[in-house]
Amino acid sequence: MHPILFRIGTFELFSYGLAMAIGVLVSLVVLDSEAKRAGWNRDQTTRMVVFTFLMGLVGARIVYVFTRINDPGVDILAVLFNARAGFVYYGGLIIGTLYLAAYLAWNKLAVWPRIDGMTMGLCMGLGIGRLGCLLGGCCFGTPTDLPWGVVMANEPSLGHLHPTQLYEFALLMVTFGVLWWRRTRKAYEGELAVWFAGSYAIGRYVLEFWRGDSIRGHIVDNYLSTSQAISIPVLVVAIYFHFKLRKRAS
């Protein structure tokens, strides 16, 4: 793996940071295409994506910090402001979604159609971000004898591990394909967001069984990770909104 792609003097280009930047750009392309199709203000849509992404970063870092609070001797402020420290995707997803809903309400824009559009961009962006995790050597899996096992640069002593980053990338790309196909066939506004939240919650819950990086935190040691604990209410909320929005549209 290649956590640092190259160095020029004191400048270092981190593969994870580059993947996040590419993910945001691809998300912008996806949402711009949807904005053009739906007749939205494209400049406003771009601003919406950028600020939602920034709030998502804040949320992802905050949740990561909470997973480190009980670590002995950890300096929480140092973790919070360390540019190389980690992120928890679910924190970014939840805080970013809450900010997006508030932004749409404040600007009196139709909420669910734009959340559907953002969901497609988010799905693609998260997938590309997982490639950054693979290159960066984080979010790795448990040991495996399967031929596609990978060795993490940061943890070479662990041997060949499940490439859980690629598993999640595949999950998100398949999900994106379904959402893109479904965008012109929706039974109700908000359907894409509901489908994504539900499918990601289930997929992430299952993938956690192959995750080997204990730093992400556990609610119940060795049984329920932080992400699995979050997946359960996310799935419940997705099911609730599915029936509520479908009933409203009928």
The token duo for 102 is 């508030």
- Chain segment 10-35, per-residue pLDDT in tens: 777 778 778 888 988 999 999 999 99
Alpha helices in the chain (DSSP H): 15-38, 42-68, 76-80, 89-106, 111-136, 164-182, 191-207, 226-249
Encode pLDDT of 42-66 as tens digits: 888 888 888 888 888 888 878 777 7
Chain centre distance of CA 2:
21
pLDDT in tens, 198-225: 999 999 999 999 988 776 667 777 778 8
Angle CA(230)–CA(141)–CA(80) in degrees, nearest 5?
55
Q: Is the pTM of this model over 0.95?
A: no
Dist CA 106 CA 108 (whole Å): 6
Residue in the block written with tokens 């003097």:
9
Average pLDDT value for residue range 130-151: 88
For residue 9, is pLDDT > 80? Answer: no
pLDDT at residue 197, rounded to an integer: 95
